[in-house]
Amino acid sequence: MSGKPGQLVACLVVGALAGCAAMHDGAAERRRSAYSSSLGPDATTMNRAVTIASDGRYEDAARAFEQLLQRLQTAGGDRAAAAEAMFWLAFCREKQGRFSEAAALYDRVAAEFPDARAADNALQRRRRIDPMAASRPAP
Amino acid sequence: MNQQADHDDEQVERMLRRWGADEAARRVQPGAPPIPQATPRRRRTTRRWALAAAAGLVLALAAGGALMVSRTDLAGQTQALTGAQADADRLEAELAQARSDLDAVRADLARAGDKALADAKRHAAAVEKLREDFQARQTASAAKAVQAAARLKRLEADLAAAGGKLKKAGADLAKAKSQLVAAQTAATRPSAELARLRRRLAAANTELTRLGKQNRDALLAQRKAANDLAMFQAARRVAVGDYQRAYLSAAAGGATGLAACQAASANTRLLARCAQLRPSIRKPATRNLFDRIEIILTRLDLIDPGGLNAAADLVKIIRAGDVMAQIDAATAIGAEGVEVRQWLIEAGAILAGVQRVG
């Protein structure tokens, strides 16, 4: 870590971030707080599946998210948890290159759980998927 | 009856005729030598013939008597025949006695034969035993001969080995003698050689001293460098910590705790920038690190900051992947571009904030 140039860069970054913070959307934050995930007993399963995904084992993680999603939907349980599980399933498919499946799942998250935290993330990631890639068949 | 009488007469007459011939023959050879009694076998044969002759003589006498009786008294023929019958019975008894004697003789002969056979068997057994003893002695002799030959061979080998050792000892002795001569010659070398060797030894000692000092200096320099590095790393950690706290407080917009981390990530658009920077990443390890951090930041964005274990769960994921150490390594080596490194530094600041909360 160099001395003065590094500190200068850090100061610039901190100043820029202070400006960004002023533009933070307070309405979105309030909406998220009102519709937050409370996984309860399924939190451990969700965390474990996310850890598996962070290791790059997307197929194993997708299988875990599918099981969790099926359990949450059949039990008529936590909608926020179901939305997050569906989002992570779409995330794994995107990382696997199965863009059409991922796009469809992101769309379902936004359509079925419009007030969930995961809906915003789903829409953002859905927009980033190349329309050409989305139309490509899964490998 | 008459026919029977005629038949008897003829029989008696024939016997008398034979007796007469035998008697005449005996009288013709009055000076004949007595029958030699050489062997017991011949004596027994003679006895058998004597018995037969005596029986014949008795029968002839009986027949002659009967003939005389028949000639003299034809009227009392039946009575004479009865007497002849009695004589015949008597003769038959004598013949039976003679046969009994003959059987006794035969039994003697059989016993003698059995004894001779037993003797012969005993002799054969003795001969067989002698033959076996001889064979055993012959076998033992052959074995001893083989042993003796082997021992002789061994002795010859020992002798040859001893000869070789003797020869080698002689050679060693000769070599020792030559070495002794050489040593005596070396002992008389001029002292100049010794002085030269002493000078070389002194130079080597000097070089050794110099190298030891150089080694000690290098060791001291290494320790000093290690201390400097430790101090530098401590100062860096302090600076990074200060930077991370300043970054978070600036980016979070007044939020605190896990919500500050969420706000900082959202305000700085780290996830969106991650997708933009991905194509410029050079090393696969850095790309994997980006993927891992992207997942953690996404999870941070989705998590309820008010949850009981929210921060702790995130910290587990961060520590499981050893993310902070990987960020330090990726930013230190400078293999990636400035923007990628800057993104990693910012992400590290947010994740450090999560770890402080958790």
ipTM for the assembly: 0.71
Measured between CB atoms, does A8 come within 8 Å of chain B? Answer: no
Q: Do A20 and B306 touch (CB under 8 A)?
A: no
Q: In terms of domains, do A19 and A59 share one?
A: no
Q: Pick the residue from chain B with its C-alpha nearest to A118.
A: B302
The domain ranges of chain B are 2-27+43-132, 229-357
- Helix B310-320 vs helix B257-267: angle between axes, to the nearest 10 degrees? 60
B258 in Cβ contact with B303 (< 8 Å)? yes
pLDDT at A85: 94
- A49 in the same domain as A104: yes
One domain for residues A48 and A77: yes
Q: What is the mean pLDDT of residues B125-140?
A: 79
- CA dist A68 and A71 (Å) reads 5
Same domain for A15 and A48, yes or no, is no
Mean pLDDT for chain B? Answer: 82
- Establish if A56 touches chain B: CB-CB under 8 angstroms: yes
Residue B239 in contact with residue B251, Cβ under 8 Å?
no
Q: Looking at residue A16, what is its pLDDT? A: 47
Q: Are residues A48 and A106 in the same domain?
A: yes
- Contact at CB, B250 and A21, closer than 8 angstroms: yes
Mutate to test the interface with B, among A9, A12, A17, A39 (most CBs of B within 10 A): A17
When comparing pLDDT for B297 and B167, which is higher? B297
Task: Please indicate, yes or no, whether residues A18 and A53 belong to a single structural domain of this protein.
Answer: no
Among B301, B253, B258, B282, residue whose Cα is nearest residue B344? B282
A132 and chain B in contact, CB less than 8 A: no
Co-location of A30 and A78 in the same domain: no
Under an 8 A CB cutoff, do A21 and B252 touch? yes
Rounded Cα gap, residues A47 and B81, in angstroms? 156
Q: Do A13 and B309 touch (CB under 8 A)?
A: no
Tokens of B142: 């052959």
Structural tokens at position B51: 């018995």
Judge if A52 and A101 occupy the same domain. yes
* CB-closest option in A22, A51, A121 to B317: A51
pLDDT beyond 90 at A52: yes
Quick one: A9 and A46 in the same domain? no
Residues in chain A with CB shorter than 8 Å from the CB of B233 are: none
- Residue in B250, B296, B313 nearest the CB of A17: B250
In terms of average pLDDT, the best of A6-10, A68-72, B13-17 is A68-72
A124 touches chain B (CB under 8 A): yes
Residues A51, B306: C-beta atoms closer than 8 Å: no
CA-to-CA distance for A96 and A94, rounded, in angstroms?
5
Give A15's contacts in chain B (Cβ within 8 Å): 250
Domain that holds residue A58: 38-135
What's the whole-number mean pLDDT along residues B88-108? Answer: 91
Question: Tens digits of per-residue pLDDT, A65-95?
Answer: 999 999 888 866 778 889 999 999 999 999 9
Comparing B73 with B11, the larger pLDDT belongs to: B11
A22/chain B closest Cα distance in angstroms: 6
Tell me the chain B residues in contact with residue A117 when contact means C-beta distances shorter than 8 Å.
301-302
- What is the rounded CA–CA span in Å between residue B211 and residue B229? 26
Count CA atoms closer than 13 A to A51's CA, side-chain side: 16
What is the average per-residue pLDDT within B133-154?
79
A43 and A100 share one domain: yes
Reduce the DSSP state of residue B276 to 3 states and report it.
Answer: helix
What is the structure's pLDDT at A33? 40
Total domains in chain A come to: 2
pLDDT tens, residue by residue, A63-72: 999 999 998 8
pLDDT surpasses 80 at A28 = no
Residue A94 makes CB contacts below 8 A (sequence gap 6+) with A102, A125, A129
Same domain, residue pair A73 and A47: yes
**Predicted model pTM:** 0.50
Q: At what angle do helices B284-302 and B270-277 cross, to 10 degrees?
A: 160
Checking if the pLDDT of A26 tops 50, the result is no
State the average pLDDT over residues B188-214: 86
**What value does the mean pLDDT take over residues B330-346?**
87
Whether A26 and A61 share a structural domain: no
A38 vs B contacts (CB less than 8 Å) = 304, 307
Task: Give me the count of residues in chain A.
Answer: 139
